[in-house]
Amino acid sequence: MQTVTRSPTVFRLATRLDEIGFSDIVNIRNRIMKLRAAGATVYQFEGGEPYMDTPESIKSAMVQALKDNRTRYAPSSGINELRSAIAEKLSEKNGIPASENDVIVLNGGMQGLFGAFQSVVNPGDEVLVFSPFWTPIRDLISHCQGKTVLVPTSEARVNGFEETLASYATTQTRAIYYNTPQNPSGVVFTPDEARAVARFAQARDLIVIADEAYEDLVYDGEHFSIASLDGMWERTITCFTFSKSYAMTGWRLGYAVASEPWMTGLRKTILYSSNGVSTPTQWAGLAAINIDSNILETHRGAYRTRRDLLLAGLNELGFTCDKPAGAFYAFPDVSRISSDSREAAELLLDRAQVATVPGVVFGEHGEGHLRFSFSTSTEMIEAGLNSLRRNL
Ligand SMILES: Cc1ncc(COP(=O)(O)O)c(C=O)c1O
């Protein structure tokens, strides 16, 4: 019989995947599923998606596209009708002077971020990331064999953005990841803060990777796109998604806007990964872009009500929390029960059946905090708060 060799040096993943992990949030979800399977009530605040259903007009557009047999290969960068509608939206709403050719349609915001980091970061390059931060960003940077350098948002707000960024930048710094509204803190960067980051990027000749996934969920202040500033269009790749604005997380639809050479980088990464987005989904995306703006306004109002309800309850419980100006998360300091956020999350789950995400998942600057999503029913928020009042 022939001996088959399985050498450990062969049967191993390529080294570029060594530093890449799986999300901790998956472990939390598994724990909750187990509890629910055992018949326990769990008040769920750990999620990260809109609680409402996808609007009817978007679903009908998908059905119509299928009936019309719009089911064949589309251009890998997206159908012209959608790219042109997105370009118009970017000029009008975001102040980003884009044409159809500067837009690429993607499988969600994640694919845009993947393509953006792949297009910019070489091995050994450093990326400045405002922190606490959305965890997958570190993995996306590691996938390029780059290094994540955390810049505490609170420090930048106290000491000034340019001064703070300068204290974390080195000769290896290549880019800044700029997320507004932020996950998990709900911070919305002001136009002045965007201008300060832009001045720094221009002075140091850095690229900005902007993530505006929650652009439509702003309650205080306004959403402002850094790429709209003078001199920033050339050095910014901005990633958007349909997931949060239109309650379309499962559709996997997003887009990015950039100039050259970045657009070529994005096109290459998309061509050789998914080779584009499903054609009927793109027709549904066109209906989403053209949706009546009153629907977005109604969603925003519903989120604002939930934010205020949750915030009042958390503060009353002694979990001090800055009011999130955007997104749908509250990120209170829970050190009164434990400064170890994993322990605090366990405690809330065990004693009050309240599921949250430990702040440390979002980096060291998130320690001592828990992330509560207020994208849920007002009944769930009230019941969860009552359980905390009774059991903590
Ligand atoms: C900050 C941020 N950026 C981007 C995304 C990407 O979302 P998707 O891949 O669903 O478009 C998310 C999703 O949670 C997010 O929180």
**pLDDT tens, the chain, 392 aa long:** 677 888 888 899 998 888 888 777 777 778 788 888 888 899 999 999 999 999 999 999 999 999 999 999 999 999 999 999 999 999 999 999 999 999 999 999 999 999 999 999 999 999 999 999 999 999 999 999 999 999 999 999 999 999 999 999 999 999 999 999 999 999 999 999 999 999 999 999 999 999 999 999 999 999 999 999 999 999 999 999 999 999 999 999 999 999 999 999 999 999 999 999 999 999 999 999 999 999 999 999 999 999 999 999 999 999 999 999 999 999 999 999 999 999 999 999 999 999 999 999 999 999 999 999 999 999 999 999 999 999 98
E-only strand ranges, 102-182: 103-106, 126-131, 147-152, 173-179
Half-sphere exposure of 144 (CA within 13 A, CB side): 25
What are 309-364's pLDDT values in tens digits? 999 999 999 999 999 999 999 999 999 999 999 999 999 999 999 999 999 999 99
Q: Would you state the pLDDT for residue 1?
A: 65
Q: Which of 105, 138, 180, 183 to mutate to test the pocket of ligand 1 (most atoms within 8 A of CB)?
A: 183
Cα(179) to ligand 1 centroid in Å equals 10
pLDDT of the residue at 2? 73
Does the beta carbon of 134 lie inside 6 Å of ligand 1?
A: yes
Does ligand 1 have an atom closer than 6 angstroms to the CB of 48?
Answer: yes
Q: How far is the CA of 109 from the centre of ligand 1 (A)?
A: 5
Paired tokens of 143: 């996938």
Nearest to 220 by CA among 197, 244, 186, 245: 186
Q: 255: closest CA among 288, 298, 301, 304? A: 288
Sign of torsion over alpha carbons 311, 312, 317, 322: positive
The single-letter code of the amino acid at 14 is A
pTM, 2 dp: 0.96
Say what the pLDDT of residue 19 is: 86
What is the whole-number distance in angstroms between the Cα of residue 263 and the centre of ligand 1? 20
Q: 25 CB less than 6 Å from ligand 1?
A: no
Compute the distance between CA of residue 24 and CA of residue 360 in angstroms, rounded to an integer: 10
- Ligand 1 near 183 CB (within 6 A): yes
Whether the CB of 241 sits within 6 Å of ligand 1: yes
Residue 354 to residue 348: CA distance in whole angstroms: 5
Atom 12 of ligand 1 has which residue's CA nearest to it? 213
Residue 277: both structure tokens together: 């987005």
